A and B are shown apart, each in its own frame.
Chain A
Amino acid sequence: MKTRVKYVTVFLLVAAFGWADVKSDIWSDAVRAVENGRYDDALKGFWRLADEGVMSPELYQNLAACYQRSGETGKALACLEFAVRLQPSEETYHAMINGLLRSLDRQSIRPTGGGWRDAVFFWTDHISPGLLVIGGLLLWFTAWGILLLRLWYPRRALTLSAAILLLLACYAGAGWWHRTHPLPVGITVRTETPIFFGKNADDVPRFILSEGERIAITLLDGSWSKIRTSDGKTGWCQTDSIAIVSNTLQMPRTDMLEPDV
C-alpha cells in the first residue's frame, strides 16, 4: 500500500513539473511569435495559458501588448484592466492604461460603482480585504465568546456588546465581500458600439460609444447588457461588442477557445 502511495506521489510531482515546463515552452513560443510579428499565434499561446488557469498579471500584460500591436486597443485596455484587478497596487499597469487611453479619440474615465454599495462601504476602500476579513473574524469570535459568557452571567451589557460586535462583524464581512467583488466594468472593443434604448438591434441607437470606452455593467441578460457610462447615460448594448472585466475576463475572441477565462 505504502509503495503504491509513493508511486502516485512521484507521478503527480513529475506531471506537475512537466506541465510547468510545458507552460514555459508555450510562453516562450508566444513571445517568439510576437517578435516575429505573428500576433495571432502569440494570442493563441497566451490565451491557452489563461484558459489553463494561469492568473498572472504579466500574462495579461502580454495579451494587452499583442492586442495593441494587432490594433485592437479596446481589447488591450480590457486585458490591462484585468491585470489591475489581479494586482491593484502595481502602478505600472495604471500608467500603461493611462498611456493607452491617450492614444484614443475619447478618453473616458473609469465608471464608479455608485449606488448603495459605495454609499454603505465607502470607508472600507482604504482597508485591505485581508485586514477586513481578519477583523471581521476577530469580532465574530469575540461576540460568540461574550455570548458564551452570558450563559453563566446573564447581564444585559453582555448581550448588548455581543449584538454590537456581531453587527460590526457582519459589516466587516460585507465590506470584505464588497472589496473582493467589484462591479464588472465593460470596455468597448469595436470601433463603434451602438447603445440602444432597449434590447432591439433594429431600433435607432440612443448613442454610440467608440472603442476603448469604459462603462459600468449594471445587468447581464444573455446576449444583451445594460450599461451606464461615466457621465450617467444608460442603455443596452450587445454583449459581444464589449469586454467584461470582473473576477474573470470575458471578451469576444478570434481564436477557437472559449471566451471564459
Chain B
Amino acid sequence: MRHCICIALLIALLPVSSGFGACNVSAQISSGSVLPGQLVQLTIQASGSNISDPDLSVLKDTGWQVIDGPVIGRSYQIMVINGRRTESQTLTWTYTLRCDRQGKQQIPAIPVTVDKQQCLTNPIQVTITSQKSETERSDANARQNGQPTLDDLAFITTSVDRKQVFQGEQIMLTLSIYVLDSMGVDIEIPRNLPLPNLSDFLQGPQNRTVDRANMRGFSYRVQRLEQVIYPVQAGTLTIPAWSWQGRVYWPDRSLFGQSSAIRDFYAPPITITVEALPPSPPEFSGAVGAYRAESVFPRDTLTVGTPVQWAIAITGKGNPDTVGAPRIPPIPWAHISGPEIDLDGRDGGELTKIFTYQLTPLVSGEQELPEIQYVFFAPPLRQYKTVRIPAKKVNVVASVSPSGTENTRTASEGSTQSFSRQDTNAPIVIPIVKDPTGLSSGWRISRWTTRSAFAIALLSPVAVWIVLSLYVLRLNRMKTDRAYARKSRAVNLFEERLRQTTPDEDPGGCIYKAVTDLVSDLLDARESGLTTEEVVSLLAGRISEDELRRLELLLRRCERARYGGADLSVEEVQALREGAFEMAAMLVERLR
C-alpha cells in the first residue's frame, strides 16, 4: 500500500517536476547588504532556444527603482550527438537597481518566458541599512591590521559649508573623490561624471581642485568639485545622494601585475533647512549675502552737455543674478541714462557687478551727486543691511558752442546758441548758429592735385631705385662681361680716334686703325693689328656683299694713303672720315 502511494505521488509530480526542470532561469544580486540609495547590480540569467526579456514590472511598488540597464550578454551552444544537432543560448541581463527604504527588502521573482514557457527567477532578500554591514566590520578588522580594504582604496564624499541657510544664500557644495595616494591605486570614473540632481537650487560658479588629505589613517589624492548653489525656496531641501559606478585598479602579484574591480561609489543625501527672508524694506535690492558699494566718478569738474560715465560697483559674495541696480535719487541738474551692467570675477570668489550710468549735466554751478543707498539681506546678521555711498560735490561749468558762444541753462529758439535743456523730460533744442566761421571756402587745393602730389611722392623713390638699379646692373656687367664692355665703348672709342685724326700725322693710318678697331670691338675679336683681309673674313655673312665691298674699298684707300708716300689733301682726309663715319654707322646698325 505504501509503495502504491509513493508510485502515485511520483506519477502525479512527474509533469510538474519536468515542467520546472525545463526552466533554467536564475537571478543574482551584487551585494546582499547595501546602504539606502546605494546602487546594486541585479543579474538575471536564462538558457533556452527562444527567450524573451524579463518582465521587471513586478518591481513596481516594491521600493526598487531601475536606474540603468539592461546590459545584455549572450552565448550560444551547439551540440551534435549521434548526428542529432541541438542549439541553445544563454542570455544574461544586468540591471542597476536602487532602493531608498531601510530594512529587509525583497526583489520578487521576475517572470521570463523561455521556449514559450513562463519561468520565474528566485526571489532575493537584500538588507538595506545605514549600519555597518558584516563585510564593513571585517574591513574594519582588516584596517586595524594596517592594511587598506577595497573600500579604502577609493571612495567619495559630499559636503556643504552650511546646512541652515536663508533663501537665496550662497552654499558651497563640495563633491570629493578620494583615491589612495600610495600603492599605485587608480580609478576609472565615467567620462560624463553624473552629478546630483540639484533642481531645488540655482547653480553658480564651479571650481575644480586637486589636493591631498589624510582620512581613515591613510593618505589620499582628492579631486574636489566645488559647486556654488543658491536655494530657490524655503523649507527642507535635499541634495540627493551622489552615486555612480567606477573601476578601481591596484597592483598585485598576478600575471599582469594589476587587478581591478567595479565599485559602486555612493555618497549619502544631504538635507538643508532653508529659512524664508523676513519682510523686506521697499529699497531691498534683492541681493542676499555680504556686499559693499563703491562709486567711481571720473572728475570733479564737469561741462554742461558733456556726458560722463558714473560707475557704481557692488562687490561681495552672493548670487550675482539677484544683485539689482542701485536706486538713484532724482538729479534735477542732470540727465541720467543707463545703466550698462558688467560682471567681474566669476571664479567663485568675490563678484563685482558694475552699473555704469551716463550722466549729462544740464545746469552749471556747484552741484551735488546724491547719496546712494544699497539694501541687501545679510544672513549672519539675520536682517537687512544698508551700505551707503556718500554724496559728492561737483562743479559744472558752462560749455562753449562751436561758434564760441557760451551755452547757458536757458535755451530759446533763435535767440541763443545754447542746446541745454530746461528739464530732463523736455526734448533738446538744437541751437541755430548765426555767425558762421567756416563759411568762406577760401583757397583750396583740389582733390586731383592732392592725389597727384601724393602719388608722385610715393612713386618718386621707386623711380629713383629703378634707375639706380639699372645703372648698377650696367656697371656690374661692364666689369664682368668683356664683350659687352668692348661693344658698349666701341662707338665712343671710334669717334675719339677720328677726332684725333689730323692731315699732318698719317690720317689714312688713323682712320684705318679706327675702323679696324671698331670692327674688333664690335665682334670682340683681337684687339689690334687686324688686316683688311681679316676684317673682310670676320664680317663675311654678317653684312651684305655690297656693304662689305664698300668697307674693303675704304680700308684699301686708307692703306694706299698710308703707304703711298704722298700727303693727303684736306678734302681727301675729310672724304675718308665721312666714309669711315658712314661705315661705322652701318656696322653698329648691323652688328647690334
Enumerate chain A interface residues (CB-CB to B < 8 A): 20, 23-24, 27-28, 31, 34-35, 49, 53-59, 61-62, 64-65, 68-69, 76, 80, 87, 90-92, 94-96, 98-100, 102-103, 107, 137, 140-141, 144-145, 147-148, 151-152
Contact = CB atoms under 8 A, between A and B. Distances in A.
Interface stretch (B132-140, B264-272, B465-473): B465-473
A102 B335 contact: yes
B217 interface: no
B427 interface: yes
Interface stretch (B281-289, B342-350, B429-437, B519-527): B429-437
Contact of B440 (A20, A35, A152): A20
A144 B399 contact: no
A100 B430 contact: yes
B431 A65 contact: yes
A98 B472 contact: no
Chain A contact residues, majority secondary structure: helix
Nearest to A87: B402
Contacts of B306: 91, 95
B120 to A, nearest CB: 64
Contact of B439 (A23, A65, A107): A23
Contacts of A140: 458, 461
A69 B413 contact: yes
A151 B337 CA distance: 64
Interface residues of B, number: 39
Contacts of B438: 54-58
Nearest to B469: A151
13 contacts: A20-B440, A35-B414, A35-B432, A58-B433, A58-B437, A59-B439, A65-B429, A65-B430, A65-B431, A92-B402, A95-B399, A102-B335, A151-B468
Chain B contact residues, majority secondary structure: loop
Contact of A95 (B305, B337, B468): B305
B307 A58 contact: no
B360 interface: yes
Nearest to B303: A91
Contacts of A58: 402-403, 433, 436-438
Contacts of B419: 92, 95-96, 99
B413 A145 contact: no
Contact of B430 (A68, A145, A151): A68
Contact of B462 (A24, A27, A144): A144
Nearest to A63: B430
B428 interface: yes
Closest 6 CB pairs of A and B: A99-B428, A144-B461, A56-B438, A95-B305, A103-B427, A65-B430
B309 to A, nearest CB: 13
Given A99-B419, A102-B335, A144-B465, A53 B472 contact: no
B337 A102 contact: yes
